[in-house]
């Protein structure tokens, strides 16, 4: 959740949704995100809302399972008694696997107890490769997790060192294999490209190492130099070179070639899946207007047209829940125009594309230009009136989206 959230309006102490919203609860599929804001060490590039033990000095870490369960119960009270089966659960971080499988299982059991998991629900946890072994993965599977997503980032030692990753290069692939052996049907690996010092050959090795582990899903992200991180300071001091935009584009295309040749297909600009069932349903719900409640410090929620975000620090979060007050820091209700712009931004990044019906008049003219410039697929636009990015369009997605939104 990088970047400062907008100021927003206050969230009432009991967390109640705005008047009228309750009639729209349960219309969209419902998911739950659980943020675990702890890491053993902080990677130099990462600005996620996460804390090491030294930064926290105890406290919220020990009671975190109870705090998360407290907010799950609050969510149930706010959303009323309506049937609201949970289609997807995603435990992210931070490092969720710093909690024991039994602790993550207790949080999941609370979700099931309060809302009920829908039949065939997708239940994902992120996991740092060094923080799990085969036994822990067996425990997570037993607790009801169906999908695991490992932060691999690279298979090359000097790249991992620049990123401050603490696992050995072969550990993520081993972890992925253990997960498959323990019955996880869906296994994903995250990669990062464009790390300073990474060569084309290094990147090819990383993608091939990821594929060799036979995951069902791979995410590949361009390294973002986030303000305030150790990486940003090292670049400012000239100790590390700045990531290079041309190299980033080459790496993206190389990844797309290698992943496609191995049978994975892109379904969102940074995400490839072995088949439609392997796509991350939880993230797809974010991108297609689903409802979700985000549990935990700094977590964002979106239910029935209202968006809110929790206080960021675990201590403030714990204090709010202990006082029986919603941890929501602020919220906003999107206008129809804002909602439309957001839909265009998200849909255009998906392989399914953005329908012309969402576009303003200026956006339709921009779609014609994108087709003429080779940035959007001509057949999809002419036959179905949908903007589907070409490979070159995916490289220039931000510019295309700016034009489409008018
Ligand atoms: C919230 S992290 C959690 C995963 C887990 N803690 C780990 O690092 O293994 C999810 C993913 O975001 C990506 N990520 C985090 N910071 C990034 C950055 N500055 N640039 C690009 N990708 C980033 C990494 O690929 C990471 O695996
Ligand atoms: S382990 Fe993951 S969440 Fe934690 S600091 Fe590193 S990238 Fe960020």
Point out the ligand nearest to the CA of residue 188. Answer: 1
Average pLDDT over every residue of 161-188: 94
3 state SS of 316: helix
Condensed to tens digits (0 to 9), the pLDDT of residues 354-393 reads 999 999 999 999 999 999 999 999 999 999 999 999 999 9
Q: Is 231 in the pocket of ligand 2 (CB under 6 A)?
A: no
CA–CA separation, 387 vs 368, rounded Å?
9
Tell me the whole-structure pTM to 2 decimals.
Answer: 0.96
pLDDT at 3 exceeding the cut of 60: no
- Whether residue 154 contacts residue 195, with contact meaning beta carbons closer than 8 Å, is answered with yes
- In angstroms, the CA 397 to CA 399 distance is 6
CA distances from 79 to 85, 107, 318 (A): 12, 18, 21
Of 376, 373, 371, nearest to 390 by C-alpha is: 376
Q: Is 226 in the pocket of ligand 1 (CB under 6 A)?
A: yes
Which residue did the predictor score with more confidence, 61 or 3? 61
**Taking 70 as the threshold, does the pLDDT of residue 81 lie above it?**
yes
pLDDT exceeds 80 at position 344: yes
Give nearest CA residue, ligand 2 atom 8. Answer: 46
For residue 2, the model assigns a pLDDT of: 47
Q: Could you report the per-residue pLDDT of 66-77, keeping only the tens digit for each?
A: 999 999 999 999
Average pLDDT over residues 319-337: 95
**Ligand 2: which of 94, 97, 125, 231 to mutate, judged by most atoms within 8 Å of the beta carbon?**
94
Mutation test of ligand 1: which of 2, 125, 126 has the most ligand atoms closer than 8 Å to its C-beta?
126
Q: How far is the CA of 151 from the centre of ligand 1 (A)?
A: 7
More confident residue, 121 or 130: 121
**Burial class of 263 by CB neighbour count within 10 A (0 to 12, 13 to 18, 19+):** exposed
What is the per-residue pLDDT across 223-265, written as a single tens digit (0 to 9) for each? 999 999 999 999 999 999 999 999 999 999 999 999 999 999 9
């Amino acid at each position: 959740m990088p970047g400062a959230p907008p100021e927003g309006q206050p969230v009432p102490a009991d967390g109640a949704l705005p008047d009228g919203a309750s009639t729209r609860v349960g219309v969209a599929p419902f998911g739950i995100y659980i943020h675990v804001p702890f890491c053993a060490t902080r990677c130099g590039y990462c600005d996620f809302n996460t804390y090491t033990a030294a930064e926290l000095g105890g406290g919220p870490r020990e009671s975190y399972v109870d705090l998360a369960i407290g907010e799950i119960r609050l969510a149930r009270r706010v959303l009323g008694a309506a049937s609201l089966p949970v289609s997807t659960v995603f435990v992210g971080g931070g490092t969720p696997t710093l909690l024991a499988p039994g602790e993550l299982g207790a949080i999941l059991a609370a979700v099931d107890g309060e809302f009920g998991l829908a039949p065939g629900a997708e239940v994902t946890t992120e996991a740092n490769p060094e923080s799990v072994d085969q036994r822990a993965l067996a425990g997570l599977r037993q607790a009801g997790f169906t999908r695991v997503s490992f932060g691999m980032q690279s298979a090359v030692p000097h790249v991992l060192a620049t990123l401050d990753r603490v696992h050995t290069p072969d550990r993520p692939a081993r972890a992925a294999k253990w997960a498959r052996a323990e019955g996880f049907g869906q296994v994903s690996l995250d990669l990062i490209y464009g790390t300073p010092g990474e060569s084309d050959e290094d990147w090819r090795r990383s993608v091939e190492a990821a594929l060799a582990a036979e995951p069902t899903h791979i995410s590949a992200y361009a390294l973002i130099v986030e303000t305030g991180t150790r990486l940003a300071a090292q670049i400012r001091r000239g100790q590390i070179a700045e990531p290079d935009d041309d190299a980033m584009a080459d790496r993206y295309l190389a990844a797309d070639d290698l992943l496609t040749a191995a049978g994975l297909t892109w379904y969102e600009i940074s995400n490839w899946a072995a088949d439609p069932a392997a796509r991350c349903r939880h993230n797809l719900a974010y991108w297609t207007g689903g409802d979700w409640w985000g549990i935990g410090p700094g977590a964002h929620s979106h239910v029935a047209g209202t968006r809110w975000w929790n206080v960021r620090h675990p201590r403030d979060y714990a204090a709010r829940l202990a006082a029986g007050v919603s941890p929501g820091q602020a919220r906003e209700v999107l206008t129809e125009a804002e909602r439309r712009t957001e839909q265009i931004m998200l849909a255009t990044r998906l392989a399914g594309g953005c329908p012309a019906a969402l576009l303003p008049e200026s956006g339709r003219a921009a779609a014609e230009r994108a087709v003429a410039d080779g940035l959007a697929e001509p057949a999809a636009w002419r036959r179905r009136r949908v903007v589907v990015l070409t490979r070159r369009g995916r490289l220039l997605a931000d510019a295309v989206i700016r034009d489409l939104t008018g």
